[in-house]
Amino acid sequence: MFDCLRHSVRIGGIVAALWMSAAAHVVCGQEPAPALPPAPVPQSTTEAAQAQAQVNMALQQRLLGLVPNYFVVYTPHPVPLTPKQKFQLALRSSVGPMAFLGAGVAAAYGQLQNDPRNFGQGADGYFKRMGVTYGANQFGNLVGLAIMPSILKQDPRYFYKGTGSTRSRLFYAVANSFICMGDNGHWQMNVSQTMGSLATAGSIEFEYLPHDRFGAARVFEDFLESEAVIGAEDVFQEFFSRKFTFKLGRPKTTP
């Protein structure tokens, strides 16, 4: 059991190191601006402040007051996020208790299915599954919600539509599995999400010992499952989450 705990801690340490390295690159990699005389505030600075206000509001959103619901925007005409703000949202979603709870539930399901079989049963097998699941999920979040959106200038959030026919809203929600809003305000292929799903599926395979790996077919299967889950989440966001999303213990009001 202690070996499994050390395995989980090792994975968590790797993920934390990746987070700190990436965040340091985003936050510290920018050169300080030279001193200038007072001037009107540029539009980009104003937008960054507006984006931070949106982030601060998102960080208060909870489904039923418990489950973080950071990556959905209910307000119309949101401004794009800076790279630092994308990392801020992704980091907060990865270190909360629900992230560990989700990995624990997935590990319990794997334990029930005895998948992978060579992990065995008991506490030893459970903590192995939990460590691998948590590490892979957070690596996928790092890639799909922060790194790639910053590089490709894509917005990792879901933009709530809330109007139109049920059919049009359903089509919109499903389409968000394939397209996303760019920081330039135009829709584009959601490469960031695809890379995040592939990172999650691939890192699970990588964390197994060589003789325990399942191969490319299993990676592709896990990738498709991840994409299907994200699509279902988008449909849930469009039709149900607003009713159950609470801010400071109260349901969100219509803007």
Structural domain containing residue 126: 2-13+44-251
Domain count for the chain: 1
Q: How far apart are CA 238 and CA 227, in angstroms?
A: 17
Q: How far apart are CA 65 and CA 117, in angstroms?
A: 37
Q: In what order do the strands lie in the sheet with 61-63?
A: 67-68, 61-63, 245-247, 250-251
27 is a domain residue = no
24 is a domain residue = no
pLDDT value at residue 195: 94
φ and ψ at residue 70, rounded to 5 degrees: -80, -30
Q: What is the pLDDT of residues 37-94, one digit of tens each?
A: 444 444 466 888 899 999 999 999 999 888 999 999 998 889 999 999 999 999 999 8
DSSP, collapsed to helix, strand or coil, labels residue 153 as coil
Q: How far apart are CA 223 and CA 137, in angstroms?
A: 12
Q: What is the pLDDT of residues 192-251, one digit of tens each?
A: 999 999 988 887 766 655 555 566 777 788 888 889 999 999 999 999 999 998 874 455
DSSP, collapsed to helix, strand or coil, labels residue 245 as strand
35 is a domain residue = no
List Cβ neighbours of 14 (8 Å cut-off, separation of 6 or more): 135
Q: Residue 152: is its pLDDT beyond 50?
A: yes
- State pTM to two decimals: 0.74
Q: Give how far Cα 59 sits from Cα of 39, 62, 66, 102, 131, Å.
A: 32, 8, 12, 19, 26
Q: How far apart are CA 98 and CA 30, in angstroms?
A: 33
26 is a domain residue = no
232 is a domain residue = yes
Question: What kind and span of H or E run contains 218?
Answer: helix 216-236
50 is a domain residue = yes
18 is a domain residue = no
Q: Give how far Cα 49 sits from Cα of 39, 42, 75, Å.
A: 17, 11, 16
Identify how many contiguous H helices and E strands the chain contains and give both numbers. Answer: 10, 8
Instruction: For residue 187, count other CB atoms closer than 10 A to its CB.
Output: 12
Q: How far apart are CA 213 and CA 54, in angstroms?
A: 42
Q: What is the pLDDT of residues 184-197, one digit of tens each?
A: 999 999 999 999 99
Calculate the CA 224 to chain-centre distance. 17
23 is a domain residue = no
